Structure 1
Amino acid sequence: MLQHDLRAGLDEIIGGVDRVLAFEVEPQKRAELERIRVSGEELARLLDLLNGGTEARVEDAADQKATLLDIRIFLRTLERRWTCAARDRDLAFEPLISPQVPPALLVDRGLLERIAGNLLRNAFAYSGKGTVRLHLEFELPHSLILRVTDEGPGFAAEVISEAARPGARGPVARRLRPEGQGLGLSICRTLCEAQGGWVSWANRPEGGSEIKARIPVGIPASQESAAAKHTRIEELPDLTGWRTLVADDSESTRALFTHLLGAMGADVLTFSDGAGALRRLLAEPVDLAVLDVEMPELDGLEVMRRLRGSGRVWSRLPIIACSGRSGPGDHREIRMAGADLILTKPLAAVIPILHAICDVTGHCPPPAPRPRPNAPGDRLLARLLGRTGSSLPEFLSEQIVNDLRTIAQSLRVALAQGDRLILRQQSHKLIAVAGAGGDDTLTRQARALDSAARHGTYEDINELGQIALVLLDRLIVRMTEDFLEKNDFNDEYFT
């Protein structure tokens, strides 16, 4: 009961911050509020670890389920939280990521946040000056390394050999932070060792300290396969002359497949609904189709069934289905409708999508040659492959923001009218778009709204919908700012 009350209080704090962030806020105040919000979410996840008990230990994190985490979005979340904390202490914070780190990893996010939080908290408390840097690195076999360096006094000689022992603190540490208990490094070591990893620490020759935490992680099979190919240009399919069709009510998804298929030489037709897609599929030959399962007017399942049963010569064309449904029963239904391959939304990175295109086009004969005068050259594909490590928020920020604005407008109308059908459609779409945008909180809120639209009362729907709108506005503001400040995706890649 105490855990429930604590969680309710935290939800009120987070919700209050969200409501403030929905309005115009000065940049410095916005950064502080973002830090409070991220800290609140971390506390909420720590409460979830308790599972209703009072005897939770740090070792319990070893039992948490690993989930697919976009590592670059995770790093940006850390940056938003800790930049203000560093500024409060007249320090600089610099997060860095090695190019060898895969774009998505199977890891317990809560565990990762606890380790990074303890390491950074110690560095800020004891360094006293200069820059604190967090380096994310990757080592074989499948290990993520968190390396934190600072420019402070380093470990005292009398405690460096046992710095990870609970309560081990030198005189400088006691003077700089008399209230400290000397538990941060001990907690990190316990968490890492429970996962089969380790923690090491040392003083740097140039001054300051360096702490490395190693955590075993998983890599999705599609990323391993793509990495094994070394992404050589000739290993991507040459789809010059292919007629391809993409049907999805999400602008960002349509733009993504248009870029990727177009860079391989294909002609791409796009549709935002199933009815228009089906008419085109039945009218003329198509060599490859990418279909969203959940679409207005006619869903992807029905499009596939009608196409497969049409008797058209090209009705057996390869089909990639995209769906937010992830259960085994859902996937069986999608395959029975006619899908050759299923991509589960949210689509979080480019590499798995490229791998899916390679797989589905590699098992079917090429269509009859149809020359395409503007087919891309090797330089275009090389530039494309150079971007496959990017997360989708970096890759398609503008389109994701457009999707979010469209959803927000539709949700407001549906909430005012009490239209459960539109609410279900838009909340389902929001699950995919918020996931692609890297906002786990909004994704969870969208799932709750989807459930309420199916089974809940109007009061539940309205309350959840209003919170979702606040979170939507917050994500739109953040992604717009990120797009303007950090967009390094040059449009010449696709000209």
Structure 2
Amino acid sequence: MAPPVNILIVDDREENIMALEALLNRNDIRIFSTTSPNDALKIAWENPISIALVDVQMPEMDGFELVEMLKSNAKTRDILIIFVTAISKEAKYIVKGLGTGAVDYLYKPLDPYVTAAKVDSFIQLARTQAEVREKNNELQNYALVVRNSADIICTIDTLTMRIETINPAIEKIMGYKPAEVIGKSIIDLAAENERTAFRKKLGEVIKDNLSFAVFEFRFETFDKRLIWAECRISYRNKMIFMNISDISPQKSYQEQLVKSKEAAEYSRKVKETFLANMSHELRTPVNGIIGLTNLLRKTQVDEQQTGMLDLLETSSQSLLGVINDVLDISKIEAGKFSIVRSPNSLRTLCKAVHDLLKYKADEKNIELLLEIDDNVPDYVMVDSLRINQILMNLLSNAIKFTERGYVKLRLTEQQRHGDKSKIQFTVEDTGIGIPADRLSKIFDSFEQAEDDTSVKYGGTGLGLTIVKKLIELKGGKLTVSSISGKGSTFNFANWYTLAQAPKPEVEQRRNTKELPPFKDLRVLVAEDNLVNQFMLSKMLKDWQVQVEMVDNGRKALEKLKTKPFDIVLMDTHMPEMNGYETAKTIRLDLEEPARSIPIISLSAASFDHEQQQAIAAGMNDVLAKPFLPHELHDKIEQQLKHKGVLS
């Protein structure tokens, strides 16, 4: 509902005021009245009066003088004045009244119908004037916003695409003065090689009659610079209204982000390549050491030599552990570390770790205790390899830093819901403890509790980092409490799904002498490492295999073209032509039966993507170095059965 119109009645006689108020008694008006012209001026100043009914003949100040004063003030000059008079209707008085600013006359005695009709028409006029003033104020505000906007705002004729109006922001953003671009085609402001696309886009807006559209183009400034602009467009009444924002800083930031991402991707690939090469270069000699150790055990050795072989194997396994630590950290950080759960007995896993480390505890004359509460479920879904790795790290660490007392592994069930059990693992020791100021740093890569810890006790400083990350990958959290000089307690808990005991598997054959021979099997080995060549040759000949050895992929191809073989054992990293390229060439370029020959990759690669790359290149299976003889025997047996060579 519209607000009431304010009407001021000024007459020196109270009865005249009362008569007018009676005639004008309506809900849509508010009446102010006074017998004093001076009070009338005050009322008009303090209230938004729209219409004033003014008596001409008043003793203090006549109506003409009052109206002249009202019209002389900016605040009251727009009041619609109607003179109410009983004097002559002569033209000279009418002219004088209209000259002072009145819009009409009412003559006494007042005709009720004429008075009501005239006042009603002026009320409508007053409302219209108020709306016009309001619209003008809005337009002025909009004009102020447009004029001071940081964005370019313009209107464009859709027939000619010429700019009709534009605000001053054009000068700040593009270097043109508004007068220089008015009448110019908006298309000409776009970068030269984008004008066709820009015109097409504007055409689509007009054709589809879009009330709003947003797109980005490059514009050329007065000084020939290119800037990125976001254009927000509205199409109405055959006019385009366009808001142009300079988004060059955002685009530059986006480009920097893309470059940073590309640099990070490149760094990641470089790191992965380095780690893959390092894995190969380190694992290959370790594979040779472990293989030769196994071969030496088969020869006639005395007790002293057996002890030396034990030390050699322990050293190589220790080196392999360090290599695995570094590679595991890299895999976890790269997000390429997977957890594979299967039914396993927690009691069996914990007992195996306990038995394996007990000799280390015995050597230091400390107790290694294992406590598993009766309510802990036996079989659960768990990644046995990773839980073994976690417990081995925590217990080895505890034993390393404990000189007297005990190290204890305890398992307790905290909660059970249906087939889910929350199990807590606790590793407690009475060792040297961890200072409070170093407690938060022991989980950082290559960090240890004290600066000289690695000198005194050895180690890479990666064990606890790997443990923490593995536990978090499995959905748990590792916590530690410690008192320096008194010992430490590590806790982690996780939810496990209860499982049935798996079917017993046939124990792996670990003695090479128990492995059946492959009589008359023809095997081509492509391996560039001399130690591994010797080890593989000796191992295969023990299985009565006919072996031919080459040291790169190109020579392997030549051999396959000239001689028949049943299987190929191929290293992936070789000079001249690596294993991946060789496998692809075999599958694509060689004739049958060589094209379909089984290929087993003997790779030192430890990353999943490298193993996937081997399969994608055409290899049938992958055996990671270092490996034991029975593992290679099983792989060969599987491929020959699949090929139909063995039944």
Same-fold status (TM-score > 0.5): no
* TM-score (normalizing by structure 1): 0.40
Counting strand residues as a fraction of each chain, which structure ranks higher?
Answer: 2
Higher helix share: 1
Q: Which has the higher contact order (CA 8 A, sep 6+)?
A: 1
